[in-house]
Structure formats: structure tokens, C-alpha cells
A and B are shown apart, each in its own frame.
Chain A
Amino acid sequence: MGAPDRWIHTPPRKSASFDDAAIAEIRRAAATGIYDIRGAGAKRKLPHFDDLLFLGASISRYPLEGYREKCGTDVTIGTRYASKPITLKIPVTIAGMSFGSLSAQAKEALGRGASTVGTSTTTGDGGMTNEERQHSSILVYQVLPSRYGMNPDDLRRADAIEVVVGQGAKPGGGGMLLGQKISKRVAEMRVLPEGIDQRSACRHPDWTGPDDLEIKIHELREITDWEKPVYVKVGASRPYYDTALAVKAGADAVVMDGMQGGTAATQDVFIENVGIPTLAAIPPAVQALQELGQHRKVQLIVSGGIRNGADAAKALALGADAVSIGTAALIALGDNDPHFEEEYRALGTTAGAYDDWHEGRDPVGITTQDPVLAARLDPVLAGRKLANFLSVMALEVQTIARACGKSHVHNLEPEDLVALTVEAAAMARVPLAGTNWIPGAGK
């Protein structure tokens, strides 16, 4: 007998490159022959709003009293061209999510929650349902490449129009809704055979490029008699140029969606590897607006990974007029609720990680068309939760704004911010905390 084995073996060491997730994905791809499709946004660690801090008041800046002095949160969108701009009571809106990807109950709950606090909801790839129109006091109607459910009546009964060029989860990608969710009603709204895997185009069918977009927006305005604010939504990739081109094309508002923004169903490789973080997209977009003399005239709505009032306040301080939430709104409704842990485990996942929204088996009844599962979501209760969450977000933004001495949340500014990391400082164009160094600013 020689020395015990433990003397000659090193402890097991896993590769940093070939980590558990990378190995699991190789095995999954080898077994199935198809890329991984999932919902939600980028899950990788990214420079984000957590990497920024507010400075608050000091000797040279005095704060506002938290419960006595006013701090406005309203935002008006569409002041550039629309004869009927919309005014939101809080600078947090609900992002576009389709009936089809979401249950009718979930859409209703989004409308109820948003309307309670005086903000807007947005349709999605699949058209407008009567339920969401009925329950949304301010409803934004998306014009998407697929034009599923597109019609002039809904265009006219919308409060604003959003031309979707792309989304943060997949700039350059089209929609996808797998057969499990193409129910009879969804199929009818989209004029598709029931149960097929629906492919949505990635480009608009009747325009290409910024000059065409200008003509398309003009047509939409003519159809609706120049009443509605027209937004242009882009996935964050070239935010400076896309913002400038959207302004040139005649947008009333630009929606800039970073790569943490969610999707109903897209290839994981797309979600994690295409587009740029929300944080990196804001300063170039604001710069474009400022250079064109349109900052605060063409409103900038930022989305992608906004989770709380602090995130919203930081986006506003960097120059956004409002933020938009999708994933956070679904969580507020009940998505990934640990109460359903047993059922999540049966689906091979756990509460907090469930992202197979495309499969239509959501235990909570949000990302499904299964009538039994969908019935689990009480739209009134879920709407109440969303209203609570939105109210908390608004209070949090006000708390920070008052601490910085601002009588309106739009008075927050980059000067109120510092960064915790060099990367965040460079992207947000604010100094590294404790220094006056802004990487890349040439100082």
C-alpha cells in the first residue's frame, strides 16, 4: 500500500470559463439541437444603477422637508407635435407587453394598477384588447413590424402611438410566440392558424431607414389628425444616433430600452449578447437631445432593468423624463412568487429564476393562455399590488429628489450622482465617488 489517494489528487477545480452554466448549455444544445429560448432580460452581471449613488444635500445644497415641501412627479409627453399630449402623474410607465404573451387577466391587472396611480400602459405585439382599453386610462398602442392586430380604429382610440423599431432584449430581432400560447383568441387577433409557432418580422414591412420612418410617422399623424403623441422605441445599441434619427423623423418621445429589458420569448444567446446596458444608453441619448435642442421637448423614456425608485431616480438624474417597467411590473403582479415554489420545482426551476414564459405554464397565471392557470390571477388584487408598487417607486424617487433639494423629480441632474466603479463612471459620465474623475471625459 502506498500513500492514501488524498495525497496525490488535487481538489476538484471547476473552470472559470467552462462554469456550470456553460457546461449545462453545451449539454442542452447537444441533446436538443435547438438554441435555448426563454423570457426576461439579460441575467449576466452588468454595470447598472446599483453602481451609482446620489450625493444628497450638503453645506452648499440644502434639502427639502420630506413631508412638507412639494416635490412634483408629473410628466407630460407629446408636447412637440401632438394636439393631445398625455400627462402622467408619476414618471413610471408600464412597458409594452402583448396579450398573447400575457393572459387577459394580467393585461387587465396592468391597466388597473397603472390607472390607479395615473400612469400609462402599453399594448404589445398582437394588438389591443377591449379589456386593456377598458382598464387603462392612458393606453399607448404599439405599431410593430408584424402589425398583428393593427387597425385604424384602435389607433384612434389609443392615447399615444409607439412605433417599435426594436427592444432592448433583442435589438435586431423579431417577435416569437410559440404554439403553446397561440390560443384560439390569440390566433384570431393575429390572423394566424391556431397553435403554430408564430414568427414576427424583425423589420417593418413598409419602411426602411430614417427617411422612411419620418414618412411613416407623418402617415400615422395624418390618420389620427395629429392628436396623438408618437413615440419611437429602440433597443439600446447606438443610442446617440438612434435618438437623433428618431428626433429627425418627428418623434414626440424616444423610448430607450436597455439589454436588461425583458422579452416574452427570445433566444438566450440574443438576450445575453446583443445590445448595451441601460446605464450606457442614457447619456448618449441625452447628449443627442441636447445637441438638437430637444432635451425636455422630445421626452426620453428609459427602460430595461428598472426595479425600484432609486433606479428610476438615477435614470431621471441622467436626463430621462420617465422610466418604463415590464419585468418589475410582472413581479409586482405575482410573477415568480415563492408561494408557488412547489410548482416551480415541478417545472425544473425555482421561484426567482423562472423564465420559461414562452411555454405558457406559468403557475401564477401571468405568462400563459391556459384558462385554468390564467384564472389564478385575480386582476383586481394583482392590480392593487401593482398600484402599491408604483406608488412606492414614486415615493422613493421623491425621497431622493428631496434629499437632493429638488422640488420636481425632473430637477435631478448628473451633478447629483457619483459612480462606484470606473465602468459605471465612464458609462454614466459622472465622477468616480470621491474624485472628480470622469473616465473618457478628457479631464
Chain B
Amino acid sequence: MTEFDLAQTSLRELNQALHEPGVSGSWRVTNPRGAHAVAVGIDAPVEVDIEGHVGYYCAGMNKRATVVVHGNAGPGVAENMMSGEVRVKGDASQGAGATGCGGLLVIDGNASARCGISMKGIDIVVKGSVGHLSAFMAQAGNLVVLGDAGEALGDSIYEAKLYVRGAVTSLGADCIEKPLRDEHKAELRALLGAAGLNGAVEVGSFRRYGSARKLYQFHIDNIGSY
């Protein structure tokens, strides 16, 4: 176990150490005290436990690492993640998993606005609710919400899949409800299992949303949707 106390050591030293070639094993970071850019740019199979709240962009652009935030996360947690896992034990602010290309982001609490904005392949499981404009322009990947979703869910969505168990305040432009078929249930079951919810939630209780694909080609008759 490698320990870093951010009350004693700078953030720069932590991130530099995590970027060293061949880095591995378990890391424990204490006293993050809302610091930004904690454990960003890792490209190694390490496990990082952060004991406390973090600011913006925790675990940004993560590859291969497992980063667990034992607290709340500020905006853009796991932004542009490529692979690996990021888990937030508390709540996450806006833009959680923004533009993520791969890996798994699990938020035990709620996520704020624009969760999964421009997501490009990441899987996101939010055990609470998500705010407005979540999955805005979402291109690929899955967003699973056990609670509710705010206004304009999936606005201008491309090919990402959205699963919501609770209420959806409204759907955004070109986002529609779609049938939850067996293959979707299997996918959902796997995602819930990866999030540590094996058998805890009935997959049939979710509704699936995705793109109507009507805005893929600009047409003047759709002008009201833009």
C-alpha cells in the first residue's frame, strides 16, 4: 500500500508518482480536501482509494486504473475516461463521465446536470438520480439511472443507450423511449452486476431511451427541434 497525504504532499507529486512507468498496487490518498485533478491521467492497473471529497476532474482521462472516491466528487469526475473503473461513494457534480470513451463509472449517490454529456463509449451507473440535460449529445455507451432523470434527457443523442428506472421529467430533442428487449435486459443485468448490484434490482423495472435518428441529417422541416 502506497500512502499519499495531500495535507503533507503536493498534488503534483501524487500525479507524477502515478504516472511513473510500471506503477502498480494499491494506493491510498488522504486529505484530498476538495483538490482538483486528483489521480488524473493514470495509465496503469493501480487501485487508488481517495479518502474524502474531491474537486473537479478527479480521475480524468483514466486508463486501466480503479479509482474510488470515498466522498463526493466535483464537476467532470472521470471526464474522458478511456478504461478502468471510477467509483464515487457519495454524490457527483455536473458533467460526470463527460466525453468518456470507455470504462465504468459508478456513482452511489446522485449525479448533477449533464451526467454523461457527449459520452463516447463509457458505461455510467448512477444509483440515485441525474440532473437536467444528462446524456446530451451522447454518442455511445450506456447510462443507467436507478432514480429519476431531470429535464431534456438525451437531448440530441446519437447512439448511446439510456436506462432509467424512475421518472423522467422530459426527453430532449430526438430522444425517444424504445422497447426494452431481452438483449437490453441482459446488457442491463451485466451493467448492474459490474456496479455491485447483482440481483438487487429488477431489470424489467427500467425503461430504455435512445435516438429517434431524425436529426442525423439536417432538414428544414425539423427546424423546431434544433
- A: which residues have CB within 8 A of B? 32-34, 146-147, 150-153, 155, 178-179, 190-193, 196-197, 199, 201, 205-207, 212, 215-216, 218-219, 222-226
Contact = CB atoms under 8 A, between A and B. Distances in A.
A3 B16 CA distance: 94
16 contacts: A34-B220, A151-B80, A191-B121, A193-B158, A197-B216, A199-B156, A205-B95, A205-B117, A205-B136, A218-B37, A219-B36, A219-B60, A223-B15, A223-B37, A223-B61, A224-B41
A152 B118 contact: no
B98 to A, nearest CB: 4
Contacts of A216: 56-57
A206 B76 contact: yes
B109 to A, nearest CB: 19
Give the interface centre of A191, A215, A216, A219 by most chain B CB atoms within 10 Å: A219
B98 A191 contact: no
Interface of B: 11-12, 15-16, 19, 36-37, 40-41, 43, 55-57, 60-61, 63, 75-76, 79-80, 82, 95, 98-99, 101, 114, 117-118, 120-121, 136-137, 139-140, 156, 158-159, 216-218, 220
A206 B137 CA distance: 13
B216 A151 contact: no
A251 B122 CA distance: 30
B148 to A, nearest CB: 22
B21 to A, nearest CB: 12
A223 B41 contact: yes
B118 A219 contact: no
Nearest to A148: B120
Nearest to A156: B41
A175 B32 CA distance: 37
A230 to B, nearest CB: 13
Question: Across chains A and B, which 7 residue pairs bring their CB atoms closest together, nearest first?
Answer: A223-B41, A206-B76, A33-B220, A152-B61, A147-B99, A196-B216, A219-B37
Given A201-B118, A218-B36, A152 B12 contact: no
A216 B55 CA distance: 11
Nearest to A214: B36
B139 A206 contact: no
B15 A222 contact: yes
Contacts of A219: 36-37, 40, 56-57, 60
Nearest to A221: B37
Given A33-B220, A152-B80, A205-B79, 6 more contacts: A147-B118, A151-B82, A197-B216, A206-B76, A219-B37, A223-B15
Contact of A197 (B139, B217, B220): B217
Nearest to B120: A191
A183 to B, nearest CB: 16
B56 A199 contact: no
Contact of A199 (B12, B61, B137, B220): B137
B99 A215 contact: no
Contact of A206 (B43, B95, B140, B218): B95
Contacts of B95: 205-206
B216 A191 contact: no
Give the interface centre of B120, B136, B140 by most chain A CB atoms within 10 Å: B120
A359 to B, nearest CB: 14
A315 B11 CA distance: 40
Contacts of B11: 222
Contact of A192 (B79, B117, B139): B139
Given A147-B118, A206-B75, A225-B19, A192 B158 contact: yes
Contacts of A191: 101, 120-121, 139-140
Given A152-B63, A206-B57, A225 B16 contact: yes
Contacts of A179: 217
Contacts of A153: 43
Contacts of A33: 220
B217 to A, nearest CB: 5
B217 A201 contact: no
B36 A215 contact: yes
Nearest to A145: B118
Contacts of A223: 15, 37, 40-41, 60-61
Nearest to A150: B80
A201 B76 contact: no
A314 B93 CA distance: 47
Contacts of B121: 191
Contacts of B76: 206-207
A416 B61 CA distance: 48
B36 A193 contact: no
A191 to B, nearest CB: 4
A152 B60 CA distance: 9
B181 to A, nearest CB: 20
Contacts of A152: 41, 43, 61, 63, 80, 82
Contact of B57 (A32, A190, A215): A215
A218 B117 CA distance: 21
Given A146-B118, A218-B36, A197 B80 contact: no
Contact of B40 (A147, A178, A222): A222
